[in-house]
Amino acid sequence: MRPPPRRERKEWTLPPPPGPSLRQRIEQREREQGLRCFDTSCGVGPSDDDPYPDLSPGSMKQVSIHSRGMERDNDTASGAVCAHAFHPVCLVMAERVARGGASAAGGNGAIPALDVEVSCPVCRATGFVKWSEWEEGVATL
């Protein structure tokens, strides 16, 4: 009788996780409640060191990036160029980092533009936010 052929052993690898990690689930729930935006470095959302975050309505406001000329409704993201929403301050910081510290505000400084051109920090879709939303983020810095 002939011996059975030898099977080569495969190197063991860790199986894929069954779903999102605990941190991902918590961040998703915080996004659903408006506490955290889609910015990876969201400074408004709660942190592990701060168990009682500031829940004032002004700090929870989030804006979407829209295409120029689209009518915007503050309660919905209709006309948005992507599905991501950001706190005004997070969007200002991300845009300043993307532009190397240069101001993203339109106009010449004396006359504010109606819209400010920004790109989404997550998917890089280009669009606009209202000047008032941009200034709200600048004032919060």
103-141 pLDDT, tens per residue? Answer: 655 544 445 568 899 999 999 999 999 999 999 889 887
Q: Are 35 and 87 a contacting pair, CB within 8 Å?
A: no
pLDDT at 57 exceeding the cut of 90: no
CA 100, CA 96: separation in Å to the nearest integer?
6
Backbone φ and ψ for 65, nearest 5 degrees, come out as -90, 125
The mean pLDDT value for 45-72 works out to 75
Those residues whose C-beta lies under 8 Å from the C-beta of residue 26, and which sit 6 or more positions away, are: none
Domain spans, the chain: 22-45+58-106+113-140
To the nearest whole percent, how much of the chain has pLDDT over 90? 29
The two structure tokens encoding residue 73: 């409704």
The predicted pLDDT at position 40 comes to 87
The predicted pLDDT at position 121 comes to 92
9 band by pLDDT with thresholds 50, 70 and 90: confident
CA 53, CA 35: separation in Å to the nearest integer?
9
- What's the predicted TM-score (pTM) here? 0.72
Q: Give kind and range of the element (H or E) at residue 80.
A: strand 80-86
Q: What angle, rounded to 10 degrees, do the helices at 131-140 and 88-98 form? A: 90
How many CB atoms lie under 10 A from the CB of residue 72?
A: 18
Nearest residue to 137 via CA among 90, 104, 84: 90
The predicted pLDDT at position 4 comes to 81
